[in-house]
Amino acid sequence: MHIYANPKRFLSLAKWLTPLFLWSGILVTALSIGWGLTQVPPDRLMGESVRILFVHVPSAWLGMGGWTGIAIASAALLIWKHPLASVAARAIALPGMVFTAICLATGSIWGRPTWGTWWVWDGRLTSMLVLLFLYAGYIALSQATAREGGAPKIAAIFGLVGAVNIPIINRSVVWWNSLHQPPSITAGKSAIDSVFLVPLFVAVLGFTLLFAAIVLMRMRALIAEQQVEARLRRRALDDDMPVATSRLENA
Amino acid sequence: MSGSVPMKAKHQRMALVIVALIAIVAAGLIATWALRNQANYFYLPEQIAAEPPAVGQAVRLGGMVQPGSLETEADGVTVAFVVTGNEASSVPVRYSGILPDLFVEGSGVVAEGSLQADGTFLATNLLAKHDENYVPKELEGLEGHRAADSVAETTVGLD
């Protein structure tokens, strides 16, 4: 379990996983988007606008999955003091926020022709907007504690508390009357015809690979940043040292 | 306690995190449970019938457009239709304006507006409610996708 806790071992693994995820992600995403835009028939009621499905749904899942990842990393940091946990959580936060924003933007564009409105304050839309704000708060808090040398614990506690929003987003269309439709895909059954469902799953796979590649890149960058800082600090110490030692020699 | 093995710090932290998580999730669930009625986006026809809002008060009415009830009035832009909930409850609605693309008889609708003195609901805005089914045009009707059923499935308390 703690094999990959070692940053050095993680870096050697990430070095070849990053290009693998990145290029396969670009390929699969391009394939699924091309498929969704050109090969899929229009929907019975929504017509051509059904094609937004292939960007909207993967983004929504990754936005929620991103915070789930932050919560797991936060728990790992608090319980096992896993050295990579805070780096992983910080790396996830930005792509998670971007995908949440993509989900909200595409949903709004989709809502105009189908529902007749850009935005309503129903349970699903509001809880998803709250997730976007939680990401913004998490990024600000974790960067502030990392830069000021504060305890990463504070951001980890925020990551755990914010996780309460994830089941609320998931259940918002089941508990409350909302304009957004209830889940089409639930355990074991789907209300989406297979001509839409198969390219949707390909899109989810492609987006997830891209997400993983971005997280690995950001983790490597954050680790490199920490190493640079540690080296600068050491050099600053070394620069002070000769004065002290020469004084000792003269004495 | 003197005889027991002292808890490892790691296990202590794990217990603390688990207890904290349970408390947070429970608090969240209780809060959302309390919001159950307040957070509804619209009222059903039977809720309007049971507790009629004041004449002129802005409310949202949601339900199914009764098949066969949609009529366009002489001016060409005003439509009249009936929104139904469970069996007996229904509210007549009038609306002047552009209809959303998904607005058809037998599908879900959310009307924003107010109840008039004569019992009709004057809508200022109509929103179409899509169900969770995604069906290509060619397959329409083949698998017996009935909008009327899906409205019941997609609306809390409408069985």
Domain spanning A20-38+50-176+195-215: which CATH class is it, in words? Answer: mainly alpha
Q: Are residues B32 and B57 in the same domain?
A: no
Residues of the domain holding B35: 1-39
Please tell me which residue, A135 or B6, carries the higher pLDDT value.
A135
Q: How many distinct structural domains can be found in chain B?
A: 2
Q: For residue B137, how many C-alpha atoms fall within 13 Å in the half-sphere facing its CB?
A: 10
Please tell me which residue, A248 or A162, carries the higher pLDDT value.
A162
Residues A49-61 have a mean pLDDT of 94
CA distance B57 to chain A (A): 19
Q: Are residues B50 and B29 in the same domain?
A: no
CATH code of the domain in which B85 resides: 2.40.50.140
- DSSP secondary structure string for all residues of chain B: -TTSPPPPHHHHHHHHHHHHHHHHHHHHHHHHHHTTTTT-SSB-HHHHHHSPPPTT-EEEEEEEEPTT--EE-TTSSEEEEEEE-STT-EEEEEEESPPPTT--TTSEEEEEEEE-TTS-EEEEEEEEE--S-B-BGGGTTTT---HHHHHHHHSTT--
Which residues in chain A touch residue B29, judged by CB atoms under 8 angstroms apart?
167
| Cβ pair B132:A114 closer than 8 A | no
Is some CB atom of chain A closer than 8 A to the CB atom of B102?
yes
Question: pLDDT by residue (tens digit) across B6-31?
Answer: 678 888 888 888 888 888 888 888 88
Q: Are residues B17 and B74 in the same domain?
A: no
Percentage of chain A surpassing pLDDT 70?
Answer: 93
| Cβ pair A179:B41 closer than 8 A | yes
Q: Are residues B82 and B145 in the same domain?
A: yes
Q: Are residues B26 and B51 in the same domain?
A: no
The question of ipTM being above 0.85 is answered as no
Which residues in chain A touch residue B110, judged by CB atoms under 8 angstroms apart?
179
Residue A34: pLDDT band with limits 50, 70, 90? very high
| Cβ pair A164:B27 closer than 8 A | yes
Q: Are residues B11 and B51 in the same domain?
A: no
Q: Are residues B62 and B113 in the same domain?
A: yes
Q: Are residues B35 and B48 in the same domain?
A: no
Please tell me which residue, A129 or B108, carries the higher pLDDT value.
A129
Q: Are residues B119 and B51 in the same domain?
A: yes
Which residues in chain B touch residue A191, judged by CB atoms under 8 angstroms apart?
131-134
Question: pLDDT by residue (tens digit) across B55-90?
Answer: 888 889 888 888 888 888 888 888 999 998 776 788
Q: Are residues B99 and B114 in the same domain?
A: yes
Q: Are residues B113 and B144 in the same domain?
A: yes
